Amino acid sequence: MAQTMDMSAPPAEDPGAFLVCAYAAKEATKKTKKAKLYVPQIDCDVKAGKIINPEFIAKCPPGCQDVKHRVYGTDIYASFSSVCNAAIHSGIIDNAGGKILVQKVAGHSGYRGTFSNGVRSLSLPRWRESFLVSEPKKPEQDLKATKRADPPNASEKTSEQDCKVDLSFLMDGSWSIGKRRFQLQKQFLSNVAQALGIGSAGPLMGIVQYGDDPSTEFNLKTYANSKDLRNAIEKIPQKGGLSNVGKALSFVNKNFFLDANGNRGGAPNVVVVMVDGWPTDQVEEASRLARESGINIFFVTIEAAAESEKQNVIEPNFVDKAVCRTNGFYSINVPSWFSLHKVVQPLVKRVCDTDRLVCSKTCLNSADIGFVIDGSSSVGTSNFRTVLQFVANISKEFEISDTDTRIGAVQYTYEQRLEFSFDKYSTKQDVLSAIKRISYWSGGTSTGAAITYASEQLFSKSKPNKRKIMILITDGRSYDDVRVPAMAAHQNGVIAYSIGVAWAAQDELEAIATDPDKEHSFFVDEFDNLYRFVNQLIQNICTEFNSQPRN
């Protein structure tokens, strides 16, 4: 176990959570043969999700039993919970602290809150990772267990750590391929599984076979190691039929990457399509939808159409129409099934190059959204509540976490107030309750100054890989100029949406909004009709995101 711990990438925000050294491997080689176990102490507020190790022993200090160290779930806890307080909730330690063994498991839906051992845990509808707490075994036993658990193959272990992706292979089962080549395809998939080193902390791989229709052979959680997966691949029978790749891509988009099938949320989704020759249906539309769901599509084409066969190809350039990017990274062409084995390593390297899996970004998971909220006297207390509901309803649509979409908010009158910055909350639940807590200010309306303030206090702290989106809501004409501040914001890469209610001035709304105005500015006659624009606004944000060039 010691060797599988990844020491290279502690989460930067939380140095306290980094396990310094669980085992001193060298100790084992000392003459005494007495291995010593070092157990790092973690603070009460450390959440399991901040520790990258899939399994670790740690020591909790005394006094972690405190409501401020939130715990979500019962027996199985969302990794967003305090590790030590969860250990108290589960009865493994008490408030005096002590050693615990933590094991990460898949996320799921419906964490149940209960009162147990003096700790009230909370419910959570869904989270991407969970953990279990138990008593650590005695050190000696533990080291033996470690030895036994060592994978025999060092290369397998390395790739497992570096490559956390959720993979789906679309296997060509059409009749055109023949028995012999189908066997070569299985051999290829088996080699890929071996080279990847399948494991719950690394890559997971499922297979869908397509012919006339697609069907799932295994999903992401069916096999959690390469050996079992390889055995199962060996037993896949050929389906037969046509080569309906478009249909298969639609199927994968709708059915494969579900949490219930082992999709891990934090891991990029990758589809590798194996095609003998060319597809017998259209792929363009199905691929576009799959890409918009954040799926990175790769194609491996084998024995492509010869010059004389090209007139038979249903959709010319189907590879370019389907893959995530047309820069060559996402497609591999192999002249013959008999040379397929040569692309095992290149393919594995590419699907594991997670920084380049750009299609994982979607309109819902990659923005910093700053709300700029008019708190002037003309709005009134009750309408202000409606505005906050509107802000909450929009926020709800996004995937919120510190690595996905983040939300910030500013309220303004004559003056401006930072309600919360992008890095303040990292769950949807916390963001929604923070929005609810915003208190109505009441005063004048300096919208221009508010835009400048939002640029300085919110967007200047946006991460470079996030899209900066400003959503400004106002009910009247500004006392100051909005044009200059808005233009400055646009020039700094802020995509601005303006929502005007009642007495808001059309010319100002348009000046604030990014071009084209009609897609970025909205006017609604009364606050009670704001709700009608939630869907429209989300749709426009996503349309704009998806219309960016693909290359």
Ligand X SMILES: *[C@@H]1O[C@H](CO)[C@@H](O)[C@H](O)[C@H]1NC(C)=O
In the complex, minimum distance from the CB of residue 390 to ligand X, in angstroms, rounded to a whole number: 4
Does position 431 interact with ligand X (CB under 6 A)? The reply is no
- Phi, psi for residue 170 in degrees, rounded to 5: -100, 115
Residues 195-234 that bind ligand X (CB under 6 A): 195
Count, residues in the chain: 551
Does position 530 interact with ligand X (CB under 6 A)? The reply is yes
In the complex, minimum distance from the CB of residue 222 to ligand X, in angstroms, rounded to a whole number: 22
Strand partners, 56: 102
208 Cβ partners below 8 Å, 6+ apart? 168, 169, 170, 171, 214, 215, 216, 217, 248, 251, 252, 256
Q: Which of 110, 152, 237, 549 binds ligand X (CB under 6 A)?
A: 152
In the complex, minimum distance from the CB of residue 538 to ligand X, in angstroms, rounded to a whole number: 11
In the complex, minimum distance from the CB of residue 348 to ligand X, in angstroms, rounded to a whole number: 10
Only one of the segments 19-27, 77-85, 149-157, 254-262 lies at the binding site for ligand X (rule: CB under 6 A); that segment is 149-157
Q: Which of 141, 503, 531, 536 binds ligand X (CB under 6 A)?
A: 531
Only one of the segments 25-33, 182-190, 237-245, 530-538 lies at the binding site for ligand X (rule: CB under 6 A); that segment is 530-538
CA distance 383 to 528: 8
Q: Smaller CB distance to ligand X: residue 389 or 442?
A: 389
Under a CB-based contact definition with an 8 Å cutoff, are residues 284 and 326 in contact?
no
Q: Which of 534, 538, 540, 550 binds ligand X (CB under 6 A)?
A: 534
Per-residue CA distances from 150 to 55, 147, 157, 202, 364 (Å): 14, 5, 9, 15, 40
Does position 74 interact with ligand X (CB under 6 A)? The reply is no
Per-residue CA distances from 176 to 74, 211, 241, 242, 301 (Å): 52, 10, 8, 8, 14
Instruction: Count other C-beta atoms under 10 Å from residue 342's C-beta.
Output: 11
Kindly write out the interface string for residues 484-523 of this chain, putting x where it contacts ligand X by CB under 6 A and - elsewhere: ----------------------------------------
| Preceding amide of 516 cis, omega within 30 | yes
Q: Smaller CB distance to ligand X: residue 115 or 531?
A: 531
Q: Smaller CB distance to ligand X: residue 261 or 386?
A: 386
In the complex, minimum distance from the CB of residue 73 to ligand X, in angstroms, rounded to a whole number: 26
Does position 338 interact with ligand X (CB under 6 A)? The reply is no
Residues 362-421 that bind ligand X (CB under 6 A): 386, 389-390, 393
Secondary structure (H, E, C), 167-217: EEEEEECCHHHHHHHHHHHHHHHHHHHHHHCCCCCCCEEEEEEECCCEEEE
Q: Smaller CB distance to ligand X: residue 393 or 514?
A: 393
Residues 108-137 that bind ligand X (CB under 6 A): none
Rg (CA), the chain: 27
Does position 460 interact with ligand X (CB under 6 A)? The reply is no
In the complex, minimum distance from the CB of residue 155 to ligand X, in angstroms, rounded to a whole number: 6
Only one of the segments 75-83, 124-132, 440-448, 526-534 lies at the binding site for ligand X (rule: CB under 6 A); that segment is 526-534
In the complex, minimum distance from the CB of residue 537 to ligand X, in angstroms, rounded to a whole number: 10
Q: Smaller CB distance to ligand X: residue 213 or 234?
A: 234
In the complex, minimum distance from the CB of residue 439 to ligand X, in angstroms, rounded to a whole number: 18
Of 292, 293, 295, the residue nearest 206 (C-alpha): 295
Residues 165-194 that bind ligand X (CB under 6 A): 194
In the complex, minimum distance from the CB of residue 386 to ligand X, in angstroms, rounded to a whole number: 5
Residues 285-324 that bind ligand X (CB under 6 A): none
Q: Smaller CB distance to ligand X: residue 20 or 154?
A: 154
In the complex, minimum distance from the CB of residue 547 to ligand X, in angstroms, rounded to a whole number: 26
Under a CB-based contact definition with an 8 Å cutoff, are residues 92 and 131 in contact?
no
Of 195, 200, 217, the residue nearest 208 (C-alpha): 217
Task: State the number of binding residues for ligand X (CB under 6 A).
Answer: 12
Only one of the segments 75-83, 120-128, 135-143, 527-535 lies at the binding site for ligand X (rule: CB under 6 A); that segment is 527-535
Does position 153 interact with ligand X (CB under 6 A)? The reply is yes
In the complex, minimum distance from the CB of residue 146 to ligand X, in angstroms, rounded to a whole number: 18
Only one of the segments 97-105, 150-158, 422-430, 506-514 lies at the binding site for ligand X (rule: CB under 6 A); that segment is 150-158
Q: Smaller CB distance to ligand X: residue 163 or 286?
A: 163
What is the edge-to-edge ordering of all strands in the sheet holding 467-474?
Answer: 416-420, 406-412, 367-374, 467-474, 494-501, 521-524
Between CA 103 and CA 243, with CA 265 as vertex, the angle to 5 degrees is 120
Residues 76-105 that bind ligand X (CB under 6 A): none
331 Cβ partners below 8 Å, 6+ apart? 298, 299, 300, 301, 319, 320, 323
In the complex, minimum distance from the CB of residue 194 to ligand X, in angstroms, rounded to a whole number: 5
Q: Smaller CB distance to ligand X: residue 190 or 263?
A: 190
Residue nearest ligand X (C-beta atom): 531
CA distance 9 to 334: 36
Tokens for 174, please give them.
Answer: 């059409």
Question: Looking up tokens 């890559």, which residue turns up?
Answer: 203
In the complex, minimum distance from the CB of residue 394 to ligand X, in angstroms, rounded to a whole number: 8
In single-letter form, the type of residue at position 32 comes to: T
Between CA 461 and CA 465, with CA 464 as vertex, the angle to 5 degrees is 125
Interaxial angle between packed helices 344-351 and 178-196, expressed in degrees from 0 to 180 and rounded to the nearest 10: 50
- Phi, psi for residue 406 in degrees, rounded to 5: -120, 155
Q: Smaller CB distance to ligand X: residue 96 or 149?
A: 149
In the complex, minimum distance from the CB of residue 436 to ligand X, in angstroms, rounded to a whole number: 12
The residues that touch ligand X, with contacts defined as CB under 6 A, are: 152-153, 155, 194-195, 386, 389-390, 393, 530-531, 534
